[in-house]
A = this chain, B = another copy of it.
Amino acid sequence: MSEQLLSSRNLAFELYEVLDAEALTARPRFAEHNRETFDAALGTARSLAEKYFAPHNRKGDEHEPRYVDGRAELIAEVKPAVQAFLDAGLLNANRDFDVGGMQLPSLVSQACFAHFQAANAGTTAYPFLTMGAANLIESFGDETQKRLFLQPMIDGRFFGTMALTEPHAGSSLADIRTRAEPVGDGSYRLKGNKIFISAGDHELSENIVHMVLAKLPDAPAGVKGISLFIVPKYRVDADGRLGARNDVTLAGLFHKMGWRGTTSTALNFGDNGQCIGYLVGQPHQGLAYMFQMMNEARIGVGMGAVMLGYAGYLYSLDYARQRPQGRQVDNKDPHSPPVPIIEHADVRRMLLMQKAYVEGAFDLGLYAARLFDDTHTAPDATTREQAQQLLDLLTPIVKSWPSAFCLKANELAIQILGGHGYTRDYPVEQYYRDNRLNPIHEGTEGIQSLDLLGRKLAQNGGAGLKHLIRLIAATAERASHHPNLDALRQPLEQLVNRLQAATLALLGDLAQGKAAAALANSALYLKVFGHCVIGWRWLEQAIHAELGLLKEVEADRDFYQGKLQAARYFLIWEVPGCHTELALLEARDDTCLGMHEGWF
Contact = CB atoms under 8 A, between A and B. Distances in A.
A516 B330 contact: yes
Interface stretch (A30-38, A76-84, A472-480, A591-599): A591-599
A321 to B, nearest CB: 7
Contact of A423 (B254, B327, B352, B425): B254
B516 A171 contact: no
A422 interface: yes
B345 A519 contact: yes
A257 B423 contact: yes
Interface in A339-362: 340, 342-349, 351-352, 355
A435 to B, nearest CB: 11
B600 A572 contact: no
A573 B589 contact: yes
A325 B171 contact: yes
Interface in A552-588: 558-559, 561-562, 565, 568-569, 572-573, 576-577, 579-581, 583-584
A600 B345 contact: no
Contact of A446 (B224, B347, B450, B558): B347
A201 interface: no
A580 B576 contact: yes
A433 B572 CA distance: 32
A422 B437 contact: yes
Interface stretch (A86-94, A114-122, A300-308, A413-421): A413-421
Interface string A145-158: 00000000000000
A439 B513 CA distance: 45
Contacts of A220: 334
A63 interface: no
A255 interface: yes
Nearest to A569: B591
A429 B325 contact: no
Contacts of A195: 419
A444 interface: yes
A404 to B, nearest CB: 10
Contact of A513 (B330, B338, B445, B589): B330
A584 B349 CA distance: 13
A221 interface: yes
A419 B446 contact: no
Contact of A523 (B342, B349, B437, B579): B349
Contacts of A520: 345
A68 interface: no
Nearest to A344: B446
Given A330-B515, A515-B329, A591-B568, A170 B444 contact: no
A470 interface: no
Interface in A496-518: 513, 515-516
A172 interface: yes
A441 interface: yes
Contact of A172 (B326, B349, B411, B432): B326
A335 B445 CA distance: 26
A256 interface: yes
Interface in A205-234: 220-225
Contacts of A222: 334-335
A128 to B, nearest CB: 17
A583 B593 contact: no
A460 B243 CA distance: 83
Given A172-B325, A415-B444, A432-B436, 6 more contacts: A254-B423, A254-B425, A258-B422, A348-B595, A573-B589, A577-B581
19 contacts: A165-B419, A171-B418, A174-B334, A221-B334, A221-B335, A223-B334, A224-B334, A254-B419, A255-B424, A257-B429, A258-B422, A321-B597, A330-B515, A352-B592, A558-B596, A558-B599, A559-B599, A573-B584, A576-B580
